[in-house]
Structure 1
Amino acid sequence: MGSLGKDDELGGLNFLDAEEVARGLASIRSHKTFALSVVIGSPKGDPVWPGRSGAVKLMTQDKGSYMSGKLQPLAGGLEYADDYVTMFLQGSTQFDGLGHTWYDDKLYNGFDAHTTLAGLEKASVLPLAEHTASGHAVLLDIARYRGKERLQKGELITLRDLLDCAAKQGTKIQKHDILLIRTGWLSTFYEEGPAKFYDPPFIEPGLVYSRELVEWFHDTEIPLLGTDTIANEVTVDPNNGIVLPLHSALMRNLGVVFNEILMLEDLAKDCAKDGRYDFFYTAAPLKIFRGTGAPVNPIVIK
C-alpha cells in the first residue's frame, strides 16, 4: 500500500471510491436489508477476545427514580430513562484501526509504534470512520460449502477453499470486492454458551497464512475482510506456531481493513435461498479519537 502515500491511514478503503460505491449499489435487486452487528450487552453475553470483558450497561435513571421521589417530571410531565455502557472498543462487532497491531516497532505504512502511546496518533479507527466503507461485497459461506452448520475449533480455510467455494456458489470475486466469510463459529457462543466457545485452548477456525493467499489479497486489492469470528483468522497458525500472522500480513502490511465479530447467519440463509451471494455493503464505525477500533453495525442491501 506504499503507493497510497507516506501519510495514508485508510489502507484498502482508498479503493472504495465513488465508482466502487456505484458498483455496489448496482447490485441491489430485492432491497432486502441485513444488519450484521451482534447485540451489545446480550443476556447471553458478549463474544470477545480472551482477556477482554463484555459490555457493562447501567441505568442512571428509570421509572423507579420518579416513583421514589428522587426525580421530578419535567414541566409538562415528561419523564425519561437514561443509561450508559462501559466496554472495550473491540468488544463487539467492530473495525480495527490499521494501527491496532504491529511488529518491528512499525505500524501500517511505516508509522512508528511509539505513536500509539496514550492513543493512536496514526492509523487509528477515526480516518476509517470518516471515510466509511461502502461498495460491492460478496459472501463466501465456507460452512455451507463444507456441508456443516459451523466450522470446528482450529479448522483451516485456504485460498483454494475461497476460490472453490466461490465457484460452487456461482460467485465471481472481482477486484475491490469487500470479502465476507462465514464459518458459523460465532453461533457456538450463542447456542452452546461461553464455556464451550472458550473451551481451552482457544483456537478459532479461519483463514490460514500462505504466501499465495496474501498475494491474492494484494493482487485483487481486497479493501476489507469481515468474518463471524473474533480475529478473522485461525488463532494460532499450525504450520509455524505464530499467533495471528494475517493481522501482520494483511492489515499491517497491505492495509486490509478488518471487520470482526459479524453476525452472518440471516444473510447466509437468504443467500442460500435466492442463490445470490453479492450485494451492497456499507459501514462506518463510531468516530473515536485515537481509537484502536470501534463498534460498527454494517448494513447489507441485496
Structure 2
Amino acid sequence: MSEDAFRSLYRRLRTSVPWGPEDRRGALNHLDPAGTVAAAGEVRLGRAVSLAAPVEGRVTPDNPEPARHRMKEGGSAGGGLAFSLDRIDMNIHGNADSHLDALCHVIVDGELYNGVDAATITEHGASELSIGLAGEGIVGRGVLLDVPRSRGAPWLEPGDHVTVDDLLTAERNQGVQAGRGDILLVRVGHRQRRTERGPWDAAAARAGLHPDVVPLLAERQVAVLGSDGNGDTAPSLVDGVDYPVHVLAINALGLMLMDYLQFEDLAPICGQTGRWSFMCVIAPLRLPTGTGSPINPIAVL
C-alpha cells in the first residue's frame, strides 16, 4: 500500500467514528451490558483457558529487555512466621509478553484518538485515554479465527500477512462470524513458530494483518482486537509508515489491541468441539495513567 493510499484510508476511518468529539471509550462502546450477558451464554464446558504467553526472564532476540523477577525475601529455615516476597519489573510494550494497548499508545501528528492532544501524556503518565478506561475489565464474546488452519499450515511465516479474504475464509471454515461487540482474536501462529523454531527478531520480521483488514473490523463493530503477533506485519506493508494497523485501529478507530497472546491451548479445544466462540475475560492492571498493561486474558468455554 502506498503512503497516500494509507493516509486516505486513515482519514476515512477517523472521520467514521460515530460517538462525537468527547468520546474516550472508542470501540468499547460497541460492547454493552447486553453483549456481556449474551457472552455468558457461550459457556458450555465450564473450562477456563489462558490466552497469555508465560512471562519470560531470559534475554532473547525478541525480548532484549525481559521482565525481571527478583526475590526480596526467600525461604527461612528458622522457626516462627516468615514470608517469601518477590518483585517484578516489566516493559509493557515489547515483542514477547502479552499486553493490552491503551488508546493513548499511538500518536499521529501530535494527536491521540479522537483528536486528543498528545501533550496529555507526560512523565507522570497519560491523563487521557489511559488503560484506566478498561480498569473494570472487558468481558464479551471472544471469536478465534485460525488463519494458518484455513491455509493448511502450522503458522504464517514472518513477513506474510492476513488478508480480508483470509478472515472471511476462516469464518466460513469455522462456522462463526465476528460481530458487534466481539473480542476478535486472529491466530497467525507466531507463538507456535517461536516455540518450535526458537525466538527471532520479531521487530524486524513477523506475520500480521494487512491494513485493508481494519475497515472490515470497523464495519463489524469489533470491540477489541487480539493476535498472537502484534497485529502488524514486519517489514511494514505501507511505504513510509511503520505499524499501520496500530495507527488505523488505535488512533483512527479507538480500537484497543492485545499483542503477543498465545492460542496453542485454546485452538485445539475449539477444533475438537467445533465451537470457535466463547466468553472472554480481559483484566488489565488498574494503572490509572498507563499506556497499556500486562494481561492474562481468559477464554471460558
Shorter-chain TM-score tier: 0.7 to 0.9
1:204 is matched by which residue type in structure 2? R
Highest Rg: 1 or 2?
Answer: 1
Instruction: Tell me the alpha carbon deviations over residues 206-260 of structure 1, each in whole angstroms, 9 at most, x when there is no partner.
Output: 10112xx33222221111000001x212133335252111111111110111011
Partners in 1 of 2:249 and 2:157 — Cα distance?
Answer: 23
Corresponding position of 1:175 = 180
Instruction: Tell me the alpha carbon deviations over residues 70-97 of structure 1, each in whole angstroms, 9 at most, x when there is no partner.
Output: xx75xxx122211101111224211101
Instruction: Tell me the alpha carbon deviations over residues 86-133 of structure 1, each in whole angstroms, 9 at most, x when there is no partner.
Output: 111224211101010121111011100111121111111111223x21
1:25 is matched by which residue type in structure 2? A
Partners in 1 of 2:223 and 2:282 — Cα distance?
Answer: 13
Q: Are 1:44 and 1:190, in contact at CA under 8 Å, matched by a contact in 2?
A: no
Q: Are 1:99 and 1:108, in contact at CA under 8 Å, matched by a contact in 2?
A: yes
Partners in 1 of 2:90 and 2:144 — Cα distance?
Answer: 29
Match of 2:31 among 13, 16, 23: 16
Partners in 1 of 2:172 and 2:285 — Cα distance?
Answer: 35
Partners in 2 of 1:214 and 1:59 — Cα distance?
Answer: 43
Instruction: Tell me the alpha carbon deviations over residues 50-89 of structure 1, each in whole angstroms, 9 at most, x when there is no partner.
Output: xx611011111112xx45xxxx75xxx1222111011112
Match of 2:193 among 188, 199, 209: 188
Q: How does 1:23-34 map to 2 (within 5 A)?
A: 23-34=38-49
Q: Is 2:221 the partner of 1:215?
A: no
1:285 aligned counterpart, secondary structure: coil
1:28 is matched by which residue type in structure 2? V
Match of 1:110 among 115, 118, 126: 115
Partners in 1 of 2:208 and 2:245 — Cα distance?
Answer: 10
Q: Are 2:158 and 2:234, in contact at CA under 8 Å, matched by a contact in 1?
A: no
Question: What TM-score do the two structures reach when normalised by structure 1?
Answer: 0.87
Q: Is 2:178 the partner of 1:155?
A: no
Q: How does 1:279-290 map to 2 (within 5 A)?
A: 279-290=278-289
1:31 aligned counterpart, secondary structure: coil
Partners in 2 of 1:223 and 1:24 — Cα distance?
Answer: 13
**Alignment size in residue pairs:** 283
Instruction: Tell me the alpha carbon deviations over residues 188-216 of structure 1, each in whole angstroms, 9 at most, x when there is no partner.
Output: 3333222xx217x7221010112xx3322
2:143 is matched by which residue type in structure 1? V
Q: Is 2:69 the partner of 1:57?
A: yes
Partners in 2 of 1:29 and 1:42 — Cα distance?
Answer: 36
What is the Cα-based RMSD across aligned positions, in Å? Answer: 2.1
1:220 is matched by which residue type in structure 2? R
Q: Which runs of 5+ in 2 are unaligned?
A: 1-15
Q: Is 2:197 the partner of 1:198?
A: no
Instruction: Tell me the alpha carbon deviations over residues 265-284 of structure 1, each in whole angstroms, 9 at most, x when there is no partner.
Output: 11001111111101111112
Corresponding position of 2:98 = 93
Corresponding position of 1:276 = 275
Question: What TM-score do the two structures reach when normalised by structure 2?
Answer: 0.87
Identity across matched positions, percent: 30
2:129 aligned counterpart, secondary structure: coil
1:202 is matched by which residue type in structure 2? A
Q: Which runs of 5+ in 1 are unaligned?
A: none
1:226 is matched by which residue type in structure 2? G
Partners in 1 of 2:216 and 2:32 — Cα distance?
Answer: 21
How many Å apart are 1:175 and its aligned residue?
2.3
Which segment drifts farther, 213-222 or 99-108? 213-222
1:291 is matched by which residue type in structure 2? G
2:299 aligned counterpart, secondary structure: strand
How many Å apart are 1:42 and its aligned residue?
5.3
Partners in 1 of 2:140 and 2:89 — Cα distance?
Answer: 32
